[in-house]
Amino acid sequence: MLRLSTKGQYGVRAMFEIANGYPDKPVTIKEISEKQAVSVAYLEQILNKLRNGGLIKSIKGPGGGYLLNKKPEKISISAILKELEGPVAITSCLDPKEGCVRVDGCVTYMLWKSLGEKIEGFLDTVSLKDLITGALLERTAGKIKKKA
């Protein structure tokens, strides 16, 4: 359950590759495609969205490619996923584009809302830099492990 689509997954991996060129070495689609094993055509779709969202910028012509638009530590996983897949919305009631029809379902409403907030809270705290430096390993070790 709660599977993330490939767009989101590939998007994060692509951002990771682009981050490796930070701050001034443009990374081409072809490079990303080869390193992450995703087709160029599909990557174009994904990178286009990320560019429109202001997370990356592109340089055309020979020697061109993609660059981060902000520092890696300023780009959260949450921001990447939101650009590609919209906000976290466990249920349709919680999707800003839809809404809650049944009012007496409020007990479960709070449940899904809480879960969504928890997920978003977590993704907000992880940045591209954390991905690069492997900071996630330490963090999760401290936060998730139950046994000291």
Partner DNA sequence: CTAAACCTGACCAATCCACTCAACTAAATA
Partner DNA sequence: TATTTAGTTGAGTGGATTGGTCAGGTTTAG
Q: What is the DSSP string of 18-62?
A: HHTTTTT--B-HHHHHHHHT--HHHHHHHHHHHHHTTSEEEE-ST
Residue closer to DNA by CB (options 1, 107) is 1
Residue closer to DNA by CB (options 42, 110) is 42
Contacting a second copy (CB under 8 A), which of 24, 67, 117, 142?
A: 117
Q: Which of residues 47-76 bind DNA (CB under 7 A)?
A: 47-48, 51-52, 58-66
Contacting a second copy (CB under 8 A), which of 3, 60, 97, 147?
A: 3
CB atoms closer than 10 angstroms to residue 99 = 9
Report yes or no: 116 and 90 within 8 Å, Cβ to Cβ. yes
Residue closer to a second copy by CB (options 64, 74) is 74
Decide: helix, strand or coil at residue 126.
coil
Contacting positions for DNA (CB under 7 A): 5-7, 26, 28-30, 38-39, 41-42, 44-45, 47-48, 51-52, 58-66
